[in-house]
Amino acid sequence: MKATWPAAFGALVASTAAPIVAAAGGMILLGACTSCQSTVREAAIPVIAAGSFDGVEADQRAHRLYLGDSAAHGIDVVDISSTTPRFVRTIDVAGAPNGLAVAEDTHRLYAGLIGGSVAVIDTDESSPKFMQMIDRVTVDSLAADLLDYSAQKQRVYVATGQSGEVVGIDTTTNQVKERLAAKVPVEQPRFNPSDGLVYAASTETDSVVQINPASGKVTNTFKVAGCHPAGLAINPNRQLALITCSGSVALINLRNGAHEVTRAVTGGDIVSYNARADRFLVASPHDKSDSAVAVFYGDGQLLGTVAASPKTHAAAWDQEHGLVYAVSAAGLVSFTPAACEPPPDWLKLVAGGSIYLMPFFAFGTFLFWYARRRAGRRSEQPARPTWHQLQEEDLAAEQERMRELEDGIFGPQLNQGMRPEP
């Protein structure tokens, strides 16, 4: 059955529109690949919504999230064994907590308290004092601020703020073993297992100080002018430190002291590094419109950000489910950092090039359709004689003309046995 002109034109339009729609869909998919905001989920937890928080840490072995709640003078515990977080309890520590540190190998949780002591909490489920404060270690007369735990050294390192010391607590005895004199006010301390040294951010001096725990002396100072660093985390394999400044984020090469500053994230508070994921997390609390949690690759390059609450001063990884948790206005927010990964280069090339290739594809489709239509018309017409057939027809016509000429000159030929009339 022969196709009508409207039907054929409709087929052309459909065939031309198909690549356009496909290319547009590819561009939409490409845009979605670069956003992790779409994976954000918020869990309403009234106790956390009413709290005030600084430190947030995850216990990867026990699948628990700990949040230092200064409003409740305790540590809020959340079960993260599934992708739906569930509030468990608040552990009373009789003081406002600042930083937290988890010792998974010894089943202990440490919390720095305003007033200068560190609370020691039993997290061993088989213990009769499970989820109770079992000790309290005095490190300073004013404050025990942010903490860091080293399983290698069996130490919890405690920053004392204005007192200018990083105090080392032996986790086997819960006794103070070292007092490392930074001689400047310190914020976040970090132990670097790669070089065995302790680093601490100093807001007032625009620097990160390096301290040898064996001698207790400062061995180096990394200056970042105008930074006013607060948070600090170290990637020991690359010897890189990521610090949060008042309005930016800086990356320091601990081998040579070189640094670079980026304003892709407008400053922040606590920074953490997860070795298994090889990612940094930066909590950046500001106003409602510009607070964020940022994810950086292990080399310090920004991977992506999600909107957050002004209450978000820290974030923590859930390695089991590939999620990041942070405090939100309603309770907890989580997102999937893997969704922040940009698409591969070949997909970028295909999606970007499709915009320029669409006109050529449409024109090629039209030429193909036109050629098919012309071929269809020719197939409907009678078949034309071949050159050989035309040659035979010309020869037969010429023979007939010659016979007529001979008849005119000699008369018609007689059959054998016939005689002409007298």
* pLDDT tens, position by position, 115-169: 999 999 999 999 999 999 999 999 999 999 999 999 999 999 999 999 999 999 9
φ/ψ of residue 404, rounded to 5? -65, -35
**Among 195, 207, 191, 286, which residue's Cα sits nearest to residue 247?**
286
| pLDDT tens string 94-110 | 999 999 999 999 999 99
DSSP-derived pairing of the beta strands 217-223 and 207-212? antiparallel
Average pLDDT over residues 368-384: 65
For residue 300, what pLDDT is reported? 96
Q: How confident is the model at residue 350 (pLDDT cuts 50, 70, 90)?
A: low
In this prediction, residue 25 carries a pLDDT of: 52
What fold does the segment set 39-229+315-341 form as a domain? Answer: Methylamine Dehydrogenase; Chain H (2.130.10)
DSSP structure class, residue 37: G
Residue 166 to residue 189: CA distance in whole angstroms? 7
14 or 402, higher pLDDT: 402
Which amino acid makes up residue 177?
A: K
Where are the domains positioned within the chain? 19-34+345-358, 39-229+315-341
Band the pLDDT of 405: cuts 50, 70, 90.
confident
Looking at per-residue confidence, does 9 or 286 come out higher? 286
Neighbours of 161 (CB within 10 A): 21
Of the pLDDT bands very low, low, confident and very high (cuts 50, 70, 90), residue 306 is very high
Percentage with pLDDT > 70 across the chain: 80
Question: Distance between CA atoms of 100 and 113, rounded to whole angstroms?
Answer: 9
Section 288-295 average pLDDT: 94
Here the tokens at position 243 are 């610090």
- Closest C-alpha to 254, from 204, 300, 296, 308: 300
pLDDT of 213 > 60? The answer is yes
pLDDT given for residue 171 in this prediction = 97
**CA–CA dist 355, 91 (Å, integer):** 58
